[in-house]
Structure 1
Amino acid sequence: MRQTFGTNIMDQSGDIHLLMTQLGHTSTTTAALYTNPGQEKSKKAAKQMVERRTNYLEKD
């Protein structure tokens, strides 16, 4: 539950200091474990692929 809570805070607010306060962390290194830039990049790439495909299909 803690991981989910921390991840949700970061997803919704993007505020690492808020996350640190809520979870009681004193180090941004520890708090950074709840950020997942790789997942965000994957979501963005998937969205771009859908947009390209949609644009391609609309041309036909």
Structure 2
Amino acid sequence: MQVRATKMIAAAANIKIVDQGGIPALYAGLTPILLQVLPSAAISYFVYELMKIVLKVEPE
């Protein structure tokens, strides 16, 4: 019962956002999030690949 109410609240919030700002309003904040996540993901991938070389892990 509680999950259903949560979904209804989320749907109502999305409808209200679209009513007030249009579809682009759903993506407000996407740029700052990408600016935060992309460097973090790049560093993680770099360290992973570097450790594979340092530890001499062979590909499977």
TM-score if structure 2 supplies the norm length? 0.45
Q: With CA pairs under 8 Å and 6+ residues apart, which has the higher RCO, 1 or 2? A: 1
